[in-house]
Amino acid sequence: MGEFYLDLKFDRWGWGLRQAMLHVAITLLALGIAFSLPVAAQYILYQWWPLVAADAGLLLVSEISLAASLVVLLNMWRVASENHLKGRVADTASLVYARHRRNWFTRWRERSLIRKLPSSRDACILTLTGYDTFAGADSLLREPLRSAYEIRVMLLDPAARSAAKRINSLPDEITQQSYAEEVQASIACLAELRTLGKKVTLKFYDCEPFWKVVVLGDHVWVQYCHSGFEVKSEAEYVFAHNPDNPRLGLYVPFYMYFLEQWSDARHPRYDFDTGELVYCDGSGREVRRARFNGGKARAPALLQPKPEPLSVAGGATHETRELQTTV
């Protein structure tokens, strides 16, 4: 299944209207078939069948056509049954969109899905660098974040060992420097959102990434962070909140996964004013601060000249210097 897309049901009025129109169309079709049966039966019995019975070739063509029609109808029924079963399974999981490849068509479908969503107050993002998610010029969530009020973002600390491990598993064009530049671009984008009056909070985690989770209102985007592959090339799933039965679907589990990571006291908060990482205890009190270097390599320390040893007699020291100069 290359791409699976279900129509969103948050618009109850539109969904009910489509169902009513479908029932009207089926009823009209059934009435048309019922009224045409006598005429069709009369034509088959008195005109078409005598011709077929008298011509062996026409009989063979009729049998082949009937067999082919039955094969097509049975295959259509099988496909419709499988799609109906998949639709019920997807509805149980609250899956509204899925794709396993990224191209211009899937990007168009994703942007169409974003445009249909109502403006959300909160946005929660757990990702790696955040550049392809919201910082890039063509990122999917760049515009929706401008309509949100509270934005919570978690990025992988570029100075962590897990970041270096993941960078080493990716293609050669992805380096520590490019990773740090993407993180800095994401920080600059979030700082710009702060100037627009948004409540932005940024945290960094240092464990190896497992899921990329983006919660935007009543929808959550999920991607698996497979080692050795970029996240943007992985399959993407979108789950919606089920207002009728919140226990159904995978929206709540992934949302809780983000909240657990967010409330972990081991993950420091980034101070946009000072550029420092703020570490807090379990109760939220500040414990210490550390400078955030953005994953850039530290500058090597300057080598200081080794001080010459002091001697008890000044003349001995002078003689030693003269001897070193002569040599």
pLDDT of residue 12: 54
Q: Where are the alpha helices (DSSP H) in 44-137?
A: 49-54, 56-93, 104-116
State yes or no: pLDDT of 314 exceeds 80.
no
CB 93 within 8 A of CB 249: yes
Stretch among 169-183, 233-247, 283-297 having the lowest mean pLDDT? 283-297
> Which element (helix H / strand E) includes 287?
strand 286-291
Paired sense of beta strands 199-205 and 286-291, if any: unpaired
pLDDT of residue 14: 63
pLDDT of residue 277: 93
State yes or no: pLDDT of 139 exceeds 60.
yes
Confidence of residue 209 (pLDDT cuts 50, 70, 90): confident
Q: What percent of the chain has pLDDT over 90?
A: 33
More confident residue, 106 or 171: 171
Residue 48 half-sphere exposure, CB side, CA atoms within 13 Å? Answer: 9
pLDDT of residue 302: 36
Identify residue 46 by its one-letter amino acid code.
Y
Identify residue 150 by its one-letter amino acid code.
E
Q: What is the mean pLDDT of residues 276-302?
A: 74
This prediction has a pTM of: 0.69
Query: Nearest to residue 253, comparing CAs of 86, 89, 95, 88?
Result: 95
First to last CA, the chain: 82
pLDDT of residue 44: 81
Q: What is the mean pLDDT of residues 184-199?
A: 93
State yes or no: pLDDT of 194 exceeds 70.
yes
pLDDT of residue 245: 85
Q: Beta-carbon neighbour count of residue 123 at 10 Å?
A: 23
Distance CA 131, CA 178 (A): 11
pLDDT of residue 10: 44
